[in-house]
A and B are shown apart, each in its own frame.
Chain A
């Protein structure tokens, strides 16, 4: 479960569920009941209730067929198994052959020794000084090291749903031509966005967060492992459309780019300051619609600078291409920085 926003933790990366591993890696509370499997493997004998189309009339019966499938159906299935309520953590026994915890070193916050306080009989005071988000931040730092070593420019694209992130990405990929790049798409459900990206010829991986309202560093770390971005390439990470939770989760990106469509109203930066404070660049998208929707773009920019005086701002329309050259220049300059 998300440590910030309460969302669920079932994650599917291109049809492969990774939630248990992630939950372990993050040390989150969860429970599961799969049988013993080989070291390091979560084979997941899913207790599916997924909606792929074999209907059996009114018969109620248990399906005898095993689901050791390769997920040929893209992400249309519902919850695989319940990650129980938050009150029970680690209800399962970790048998020696269950799964290999190679990620044990990712448990943070077990550091300093307890300090005993005089006069407190048996009681001890333990200095913790641990951020509640420390685990995510440590994984993000690891992602950042990997990306930096490769000279990859990773950008975390954040916005409300419907601001035009995917369209902007498609146009950007087309405009960048032969430049090597890859895309990580985050959505609660469907692979629709990754499909749109792949239609441009670019490599893309879809992360489905289930009930999750943001990507976290561990999900992105997995996606990087799968994608293996080429040295010196762009890596665009399209976060789940949400102006709140993704602000708190570092993914290891070089910068956050906040996309704000002109139809959303010029006061949005004031309503959701955290996201715009965390962003290096704000893109005012859909400027072709501005004349139709009584929006004051100068006021919008002033509001952006009020919550983040250092923010860079570009106005563009992904649909008409207006303003795209400045965005492409910005990208090339950041890529050069990433390789410096």
Chain B
């Protein structure tokens, strides 16, 4: 994924929120990023600084919260946490897992002035 344009999506939401809540400045913005969302965090950090210029979130601190990758194992029917998309099931060793979460990519909250 291309983080510059993810930052564009964040900016658009920040502008919506600023209109809705009437704030002038965002000081902290918290993102939840799933393990399988395919985001390069350093790249997103960089893009965030660039793309937020001229918006209420210019200079805001970006905090990224990792969400675990969850998957349903088709062999043991358990929902398990895995670190990598292609990892085997930690319970039974099975290799047939379907992601059940971990592709989140959302703004959790913002501290604003």
Contacts from A to B (Cβ < 8 Å): 1-7, 26-29, 86-90, 107-111, 113-114, 117, 120, 122-135, 244-245, 248, 270, 273-274, 277, 305-310
Q: Are B51 and A87 within 8 A (Cβ)?
A: yes
- CB under 8 Å from chain A, chain B span 54-113: 54-55, 74, 85-86, 95-99, 103-113
Q: Verify if B53 is at the interface (C-beta below 8 Å from A).
A: yes
B interface majority secondary structure: mixed
Q: How far is the CB of B22 from chain A (nearest CB, A)?
A: 9
- Interface size of B by CB at 8 A reads 47
Q: Are B106 and A132 within 8 A (Cβ)?
A: yes
Q: Are A129 and B50 within 8 A (Cβ)?
A: no
Q: Are B17 and A110 within 8 A (Cβ)?
A: yes
**Known contacts A109-B17, A308-B98; is-contact A86 B85 (Cβ 8 Å):** no
Q: Are B111 and A27 within 8 A (Cβ)?
A: no
Q: How many residue-residue contacts, CB under 8 A, span A and B?
A: 143
- Name 20 interchain pairs, CB-CB below 8 A, sorted by A: A3-B12, A4-B5, A4-B9, A27-B12, A87-B54, A88-B54, A89-B54, A107-B16, A117-B111, A120-B111, A126-B17, A126-B21, A126-B112, A128-B110, A130-B106, A132-B6, A132-B10, A132-B13, A135-B12, A309-B96
Distance A133 CA – B106 CA, assembled complex (angstroms) = 8
Q: How far is the CB of A20 from chain B (nearest CB, A)?
A: 15
Distance A273 CA – B112 CA, assembled complex (angstroms) = 38
Given contacts A3-B6, A86-B4, 9 further A-B contacts (CB under 8 A): A3-B12, A6-B3, A28-B8, A110-B17, A124-B21, A124-B23, A129-B108, A308-B98, A310-B98
Q: How far is the CB of A102 from chain B (nearest CB, A)?
A: 18
| A residues in contact with B50, CB < 8 Å | 86-87
Distance A26 CA – B11 CA, assembled complex (angstroms) = 12
| A residues in contact with B113, CB < 8 Å | 122-124
Q: How far is the CB of A162 from chain B (nearest CB, A)?
A: 22
Q: Are B109 and A129 within 8 A (Cβ)?
A: yes
Q: Are B111 and A29 within 8 A (Cβ)?
A: no
Q: Are B23 and A110 within 8 A (Cβ)?
A: no
**Known contacts A5-B5, A87-B50; is-contact A125 B111 (Cβ 8 Å):** yes
Distance A4 CA – B107 CA, assembled complex (angstroms) = 15
Q: Are B11 and A309 within 8 A (Cβ)?
A: no
Contacts from B to A (Cβ < 8 Å): 1-13, 15-17, 19-21, 23, 27, 36, 38, 50-51, 53-55, 74, 85-86, 95-99, 103-113
Closest 3 A-B residue pairs measured CB to CB? A3-B9, A6-B2, A110-B20
| B residues in contact with A4, CB < 8 Å | 1-2, 5-6, 9
A interface majority secondary structure: loop
- A28 touches which of B12, B53, B104, B112 (Cβ 8 Å): B12
Q: How far is the CB of A160 from chain B (nearest CB, A)?
A: 17
Q: Are B98 and A2 within 8 A (Cβ)?
A: no
Closest to B4 in A: A6
Q: Are B112 and A129 within 8 A (Cβ)?
A: no
Residue of A3, A108, A114, A270 most packed against chain B (CB within 10 A): A3
Q: Are A2 and B5 within 8 A (Cβ)?
A: yes
Distance A125 CA – B1 CA, assembled complex (angstroms) = 29
Closest to B51 in A: A86
Q: Are A306 and B86 within 8 A (Cβ)?
A: yes
Q: Are B110 and A274 within 8 A (Cβ)?
A: no
Distance A62 CA – B61 CA, assembled complex (angstroms) = 47
| A residues in contact with B15, CB < 8 Å | 27, 89-90
| B residues in contact with A2, CB < 8 Å | 2, 5
- A123 touches which of B6, B17, B106, B112 (Cβ 8 Å): B112
Q: Are A124 and B112 within 8 A (Cβ)?
A: yes
Q: Are B110 and A126 within 8 A (Cβ)?
A: yes
| B residues in contact with A110, CB < 8 Å | 16-17, 19-20
| A residues in contact with B74, CB < 8 Å | 309-310
